[in-house]
Amino acid sequence: MFRGSKSYFSSSKKGGKLTVTRQVKKIYLRTDIACGSEACAVCGALLKEMTGVATLDANAKVLLIPDTNVFLHNIDAMESPAIADVVVLDTVLAEVKNLNKSVYERLARVVRDPEKKKRFYVFSNENHRDTAAEQEPGESANDHNDKLIRNAAKWYQLHLSQVENGPEVVLLTHDIGNKEKAVKAGIRALSVAEYVTEYKREDASLLEMVVTATGATVERRGAGSNIYEPHLSAAEADAAVRTGAVLKGPLRAGNVHEGTVRVASEKVDDETGKTTKVFAEYLIASKKDMNRAIDGDAVGVVPYPVRQWTKPSRFLRKGEKDTGDGSRITANTDDADEARLGGFIPTARVVALIENNRRPVCGSIMWNEDQSSSTATERVLFRPIKSNFPHVSLQTRQAAQWAGKRLQVVIDDWNINMNYPDGHCVKVLGDIGDKDVEAEVILLENDVPHYEFSNKVIACLPTGKWQVEPDQLKVRRDFRDRTVVSVDPPGCKDIDDALHCHRLPNGNLEVGVHIADVTHFVKEASPLDDEASKRSTSVYLVDRRIDMLPKLLTENLCSLVGGEDRYTFSVVWEVTPDCEVVNTTYTKGIIKSKWAMSYYTAQGIVDDPNDHSTVATGLKDLLRLSKILKARRVEAGALTLASQEMKFTIDMEGDNSPTDVQEYVHIPTMSMIEEFMLFANVAVAEKIEREFPKWACLRRHPPPPDGAFEALNEALESQAMPLLKAGTSRELADSLDACNDAKDPYFNRLVRVLTTRCMNQAKYFSSGEMDKQQYWHYGLAMPIYTHFTSPIRRYADVIVHRQLAAAIGIAKRSTKHMDAELMLELTGNMNTRHTAAQHAGRDSRNLYIGFVFDNYKNGREEQIPEEDGYIVRRLENGVVVMVPRYGTEGTCYFEDCTELGEKIKALRQFDKVRVKIILRPGSYDDVARNKLLYKIVQHVHVQRVACAIPPTANVGVSEEPKDKAQPPSMPFDPTVQKKADKPDAAPKAKQPPAVAKRPASGGGGDPKKRRKVVKKVVKKAAAPQAQQAAAGDDGASDGEDI
């Protein structure tokens, strides 16, 4: 039966023009949709035809139909084993997906559970003749959805009334209006708390989880005066956004007292007609103006008049001193330009919560043994790990048991008259300070999927002893006669790249980059492929690796270990001795690596003038060629940026705790691998974009935003140093070279670290999204770039492998990776997961630095040696100081630095100081809250003398390739080899920079001088220079991705 149609609008951009397409979807009503109950004789035949779906137990006493808000606010309870036989309506599933993708993924995981233990059945209520309903004129979308849910509940009630001893149908809802209408229609409707109290009282954990979530707020509602303004309703907010009275955007909160909202809009160029997206940023300057919104929420804001604009806080909070009451100076003028000159910026207040993106957060309760330890219900305050999330009020009988534990808590409600939101504990993770528990916290906080691979995924893997298949010998090039080697961090297990360099009779060289052929084992659209797509990347913490793919692939069948036959996807060049490319070949191959060696082993071989073995000859040729490639990248304007790259020394004889942290030492073989990885990435990018201009998976890096270096240049000017210019990447590269202090070797590195933080992030994208001019990778000075060399740990590379196989005609076009819309969705997820992985790695390093300083507890808190430091930020009541020795930054309050008196207030950014670090153990024995008190004890006077780094200094620099993460132990430390023998000891985190072609134009520097340098390097590679961090596609290890 044809019911009607729904219109959907999709937009796409090509050539800068926005195209909106109206798509009409016809909806047909059916009667052959099963109810899902095994007890129903009417639907029995239909159920037999359905395979792989959960069914409702024939003996179930109660059948639950939750509305959308039940899943959004009680997903933890709904995941409990005590909750089963649930009907998930299509209407509810779509609403949950639209409102909170994190909750949707959790719900989808329950629905798709291969064992079907919880029996969650999806019912297509909008396509069933007896449950569908048209939206009436004037009826809001929310009211219409509530009506559809009630219709389905009523139909189930009538439908199953024919079953002898059939289940009772219960509609779960927290919406008072919806509940009243349901009861009026004769439907049994309960809140989750009421249902659990009546039917599941014996389940103490479920009872506490739900009762805490609802009763506490109701109990205190209406008490006291309002602290916050009420939010607009969904309908009011939607109407206000459409008229422009309310602006919509995501909230990014630096802390609970201040945040920013970025509002997007379209701007049309009057001359060209091109449409571009522009952003306006609004400051939310107080806790009151945040109005119960939390970091990550999509909010509606109303801008303040120019007269009420204010400035971001330049006051370092110490403890809870900053009340966030909004008492700041305001512009006091109606002229926007005048206000901006005074440092004031657009300011707004939150009036609507448009999309709740909240998920469980980790932390601990503020409770000690002096407090009541009875089992009576009491109220405790939960303090999250992250400072940009508010404290949460919990009502519990288990406070004593929770003391000293990491908890996972979810917010249930935040009433307008309460300082803190109400919430409930969903999981006790374990003891504070336990390394496994703290790793779990990091993964949960960054939303990193880290559950075990499902049986369906494991079933996709090969079984038995694997060996080269005879049919593959016919379609692959055999490289087993070449001297192929891999060069990786010590103890690396997931080896996804290897190289060879072979001298040809004509005097040229054959260079091969061999990448693990992951797509041979990961078949498109298989459960294994779907899981890899969802995870998108492996994640590397200091002490463990969370794989994108099962270990059978990452450490065995796809890992290019020494002495074993392995399948590869290879890029092979014939090059002249001066590294001019004669031809390029892309081919599937078979290799047998002669040696899986570490960087340090390879360095020892190339440094030995008496080693003339085939391995040594190949490595020495590769190193020489890599320096030529490096010289060309520098000539093209590729940036050399820096980050705080630290290594931990691990106590292998004890409890694997870190005993020291030091800056990582770089050696030339690391740069050698980097150059050839990016060389292959560029070659592949050019090939797939040429063949598939509408959907090639590429990676771009936008130029720095306008004004990105203003504050940095002000600081450089105060130090009488050259200013940064960012018109082109070459200009920036030249100006970075000029910011060198002859008297302070670390100064240039510090400038590069801070420059990295001003850059935009690099992003994956599909080539059909934008014009070719926007493909440009600013950091690498590359017109085109992609990721091909790490398919074991990046799903982007898996996509690129499939596209390359199709491009050279050895595989059919992928249905998923040759679809512009699907590629847009995939690249969006890859960008999100990549950022989350970076943040998780940063959090892990910070945690382990805390473990290092934990060694100074128990009376040694003030025995940490003084270290050199640099001022990296100056505020009203203190400064932020960086200590290179530990790779840490901390706040120095003027009031604590008594040694310098008033002189401390004259310190400028980039000033060198001596710093005393004092450990203040975290409250409630929380290692994650160990405080490091930074006290400046001496201003080290340095008369800055600008001395430009010669162009040769950036050629052949001793550096770590960003394509390889390092193991947690220090290089050449005896613990390194011990660590290498342990699983997951030496993870790789590949983010390679690319080889740059010379752009048609570019500013900055002396081109003649650069060309001379390149010619010189062709003849003889430049000498390495220590401690210069790599210029990379994914630059900063602190999460400031480029």
Rounded Cα distance between 230 and 417, Å, is 10
Q: pLDDT band for position 372 (50/70/90)?
A: low
CA distance readout (Å), 489 to 371, 500, 783, 966: 50, 18, 30, 6
Q: pLDDT band for position 290 (50/70/90)?
A: very high
Rounded Cα distance between 375 and 402, Å, is 12
pLDDT tens digits for 767-794? 989 999 999 999 999 999 999 999 999 9
Give the model's pLDDT for residue 686: 98
Question: Which range (14-23, 136-145, 183-192, 951-960) has the least confidence?
Answer: 951-960
How close are the terminal C-alpha atoms of the chain, in Å? Answer: 54
Give the model's pLDDT for residue 182: 95
Q: What is the DSSP string of 265-308?
A: EEEE-TTT--EEEEEEEEEE-SHHHHTT--TT-EEEEEEPPGGG
Rounded Cα distance between 466 and 552, Å, is 11
Give the model's pLDDT for residue 955: 32
- pLDDT score of 1015 more than 70: no
pLDDT tens digits for 422-445? 998 889 999 998 999 999 999 999
Rounded Cα distance between 37 and 59, Å, is 9
- pLDDT score of 1010 more than 80: no
Q: pLDDT band for position 318 (50/70/90)?
A: low
Give the model's pLDDT for residue 449: 94
Give the model's pLDDT for residue 223: 41
Q: pLDDT band for position 1035 (50/70/90)?
A: very low
What amino acid is encoded at 582 in this protein?
V
Q: Which of 9-23, 51-65, 90-104, 485-499 has the highest mean pLDDT?
A: 485-499
- pLDDT score of 995 more than 80: no
CA distance readout (Å), 632 to 739, 752, 948, 996, 1011: 22, 21, 20, 7, 9
- pLDDT score of 207 more than 80: no
Q: pLDDT band for position 351 (50/70/90)?
A: very high
Residues in the chain: 1042
Using the structure block, give the residue that is written with the tokens 């590949």: 990
- Average pLDDT on 48-62 reads 85
- pLDDT score of 455 more than 90: yes
Q: What is the DSSP string of 367-378?
A: --TTS--SSS-E
Q: Under a CB-based contact definition with an 8 Å cutoff, are residues 559 and 496 in contact? A: yes
Give the model's pLDDT for residue 821: 86
Please count the other Cβ atoms lying within 10 Å of the Cβ belonging to residue 44: 12
Question: Which range (117-126, 317-326, 336-345, 532-541) has the least confidence?
Answer: 317-326
Give the model's pLDDT for residue 816: 83
Q: Under a CB-based contact definition with an 8 Å cutoff, are residues 342 and 335 in contact? A: no
Question: Which range (361-375, 417-431, 643-657, 722-736) has the least confidence?
Answer: 361-375
- pLDDT score of 1041 more than 50: no
pLDDT tens digits for 653-709? 777 788 888 888 889 999 999 999 999 999 999 999 999 999 999 999 999 988 899
> Residue 180 phi/psi, 5° resolution?
-65, -40
Single pTM value for the model: 0.81
Give the model's pLDDT for residue 50: 80
Taking the CA atoms of residue 785, residue 789, residue 794 and residue 797 in that order, the dihedral angle to the nearest 10 degrees is: 60
Rounded Cα distance between 802 and 322, Å, is 54
- pLDDT score of 374 more than 80: no
For 678-783, where are the E strands, in sequence order?
Answer: 697-700, 763-766
- pLDDT score of 1019 more than 50: no
**Which own/partner pairs from 817-824 qualify as long-range (CB within 8 Å, at least 24 positions apart)?**
817/524, 817/695, 817/697, 818/692, 818/695, 819/695, 820/12, 820/694, 820/695, 820/766, 820/768, 820/769, 821/10, 823/695, 823/697, 823/766, 823/768, 824/766, 824/769
Question: Which range (436-445, 867-876, 877-886, 999-1008) has the least confidence?
Answer: 999-1008
pLDDT tens digits for 882-925? 999 999 998 888 888 888 888 888 999 999 999 998 888 766 66
Say if strands 581-592 and 565-575 run parallel, antiparallel, or are unpaired.
antiparallel
Distance of CA 552 to the CA centre of its chain: 25
Among residues 902, 876, 832, which one has the least CA distance to residue 102?
832
Consecutive H or E run containing 691: helix 668-691
Rounded Cα distance between 1004 and 1026, Å, is 25
pLDDT tens digits for 933-956? 889 999 998 888 877 765 434 433
- pLDDT score of 48 more than 60: yes
Give the model's pLDDT for residue 898: 80
Give the model's pLDDT for residue 1017: 41
Q: What is the DSSP string of 323-362?
A: -----------S-HHHHHHTT-B-BEEEEEEEE-----EE
Give the model's pLDDT for residue 716: 95
- Average pLDDT on 172-201 reads 91
pLDDT tens digits for 14-44? 444 444 444 555 667 988 899 999 999 889 8
Question: Which range (563-567, 738-742, 792-796, 817-821) has the least confidence?
Answer: 817-821
Give the model's pLDDT for residue 947: 78
Q: Under a CB-based contact definition with an 8 Å cutoff, are residues 571 and 871 in contact? A: no
Among residues 827, 816, 788, which one has the least CA distance to residue 523?
816
Rounded Cα distance between 736 and 517, Å, is 39
- Average pLDDT on 481-505 reads 96
Six token digits for residue 808: 């050279």
Please count the other Cβ atoms lying within 10 Å of the Cβ belonging to residue 888: 24
List the beta bridge partners of residue 393: 381, 422
**For the chain, what percent of residues have pLDDT higher than 90?**
58
What is the SS3 assignment for 967? coil
Rounded Cα distance between 273 and 556, Å, is 54
Q: Under a CB-based contact definition with an 8 Å cutoff, are residues 644 and 746 in contact? A: no
Give the model's pLDDT for residue 996: 34
- pLDDT score of 1004 more than 90: no
Rounded Cα distance between 570 and 515, Å, is 6
What is the SS3 assignment for 503? strand
Question: Which range (112-121, 152-161, 207-216, 886-895) has the least confidence?
Answer: 207-216
Give the model's pLDDT for residue 1005: 38
What amino acid is encoded at 957 in this protein?
V
Give the model's pLDDT for residue 72: 85
Question: Which range (307-311, 327-331, 581-585) has the least confidence?
Answer: 327-331
What is the SS3 assignment for 41? coil
- pLDDT score of 518 more than 70: yes
- pLDDT score of 875 more than 50: yes
Question: Which range (235-249, 911-925, 1013-1027) has the least confidence?
Answer: 1013-1027
Higher pLDDT, 979 or 866: 866
Rounded Cα distance between 619 and 621, Å, is 5
- pLDDT score of 1018 more than 90: no
Please count the other Cβ atoms lying within 10 Å of the Cβ belonging to residue 516: 30
pLDDT tens digits for 546-580? 999 999 999 999 999 999 999 999 999 999 999 99
Please count the other Cβ atoms lying within 10 Å of the Cβ belonging to residue 188: 15
Q: Under a CB-based contact definition with an 8 Å cutoff, are residues 547 and 554 in contact? A: yes
Give the model's pLDDT for residue 949: 66
What is the SS3 assignment for 1024? coil
